[in-house]
Structure 1
């Protein structure tokens, strides 16, 4: 695994893949992953947080066949996508790689190198319009966490790098090893590619409405607590009427439905990534009983919990504006 970095790269884009691969090695990946950081100078690079990623190799000095070439994102991608020194090396190394991947705005660097023409790709949800304008020959889809098009993988922002890397580990070594790595890193195994970048967990009200944003974070972190409209309004210091109006304006739903959606999505992830009983999952997510959870799954996804566990991919939420009376 060769990770391509540059000045002002996002440190999470480097740490998530390298950390997951390190854990895979500890759990017996055979053959093990050899992880190399490469940059133009070979003397390391300064991340966007100011932490210097020391060591690594010069891109020009990387020779031989490569299993996976991964280009990271970050503010520095705005320069890297036009830096012919970097683009030339990325093109050269891509021709020697079994698969090519990018994290977040690393997609811009792959695009600048001409490696994404005609492909379906994703990137961080906040930069899709720019990617489309600068590289009109690329089909940009901002819905998934990551996309595979042939041997090219592109992923969304920062922590989606972990989801992508877990998927690569599963492809290479099977689901058992990927599950062990996910447990080691205390994360879900793994958010599937088609999991929306922006779900109820990540709903993004306008930046000016800090109250709604803060309450969504509180809801996701305190699933088993009292999350009734009155309790949420008291926490926010507003009336229940005003809170209901804010949720309708910024999320298009009521506080109660938003809470239920967050609990249901959390339960669906646990159902797919753990062996807990549905009753235990219901209790952990504040849904009280297996029957309540079953109904929540039917209302939100149109399928039961047992079926969610058997499905190859995460189901998508139903459109509440349509009739779903034939749900099974």
Structure 2
């Protein structure tokens, strides 16, 4: 099957080279995949880092492809997407079985209306812009990749590798995908429901050494009996003062922060295939009902729905058709 990687001047090189390496390693004898680099006009394309693809095929001459993957760039153009880029994607998607994007490539698919009424994602930095510009899209701000019908979208840069691995699993089976991930020195492929960034990374840097030590202890063992009262006692401060410290440095309350950490842990445990009762215990929620309520607050879904959507890369949203 022919896979067209649509590239353009200013694109992020890893958005293209990452997926290309996945398909190359998954099929070293070229029995299943033929990867072609396509650009609106053909010829050389220069990436944002200055690296150049010396020969690309013009979109008008590339012929039929099975899968189109639109790469992204580090920023969005202020004056709108180039008409020739949009025209090239429109032509190439006509006969494609699968249409995908990495990072800001989702904006190209969105501009053409392909993602209207569908779930999609992009780099976390641009997710809210995508949602604001294209309100008909259900933007999943905090997932690695999403499949809805024939359309697949992924988060930024390295997430394109995960997206390509998901395609390989779809095409050639889970074992080939795992072997390819191992060749890439990756810890398997991350399922679509994996968060783009953890609570630890998304929390503002904490300067207070005492507060940082408390937070590190929760991150190290979310299942331990952490409560606001126990954290205050460990710090030797009142509950009220601990709440003030959290609001000042972390922008949230200790109770909400602990819950977010435990939801992160629960997501990983679900993706690893554990039963919900065990997930609740190992993540510190204790009961299935407490776990369910936390997922509803934090993710607006249930643990079971999350599992059904994301525990295999081959799952889609249940949407059929084009």
Higher relative contact order (CA 8 A, sep 6+): 2
TM-score norm. by structure 2 comes to: 0.67
Q: Any conservation in 1 of the 2:101–2:152 contact (CA below 8 Å)?
A: yes
User: What's the RMSD between the two structures over aligned residues?
Assistant: 3.9
> 1:1-328 maps to which residues of 2 (within 5 A)?
1-26=3-28, 31-63=31-63, 65-75=64-74, 77-78=76-77, 82-200=81-199, 202-205=201-204, 209=205, 249-250=250-251, 252-253=253-254, 271=272, 295-297=281-283, 299=285
Name structure 1 gaps, 5 residues minimum.
225-238, 273-277, 279-291, 316-328
Cα distance in structure 2, aligned partners of 1:76 and 1:87: 17
Give the superposition deviation at 1:135.
2.3
Q: Any conservation in 2 of the 1:103–1:161 contact (CA below 8 Å)?
A: yes
User: What whole-Å deviation, never above 9, does each CA across 1:210-261 have from its counterpart, x for those lacking one?
Assistant: 869xx89xx8xxx89xxxxxxxxxxxxxx99899976662465499999888
Name structure 2 gaps, 5 residues minimum.
222-234, 292-303, 312-322
TM-score norm. by structure 1 comes to: 0.66
User: What whole-Å deviation, never above 9, does each CA across 1:24-63 have from its counterpart, x for those lacking one?
Assistant: 013x6x7421111111232222211222222221122211
Give the superposition deviation at 1:132.
2.5
Distance 1:146 1:261, change over 3 A: closer
Q: Any conservation in 2 of the 1:71–1:101 contact (CA below 8 Å)?
A: yes
User: What whole-Å deviation, never above 9, does each CA across 1:265-320 have from its counterpart, x for those lacking one?
Assistant: 77777x56xxxxx9xxxxxxxxxxxxx999534548959xxxx9xx66667xxxxx
Give the superposition deviation at 1:171.
0.5
Cα distance in structure 2, aligned partners of 1:264 and 1:139: 24
Give secondary structure in 2 for the equivalent of 1:148. strand
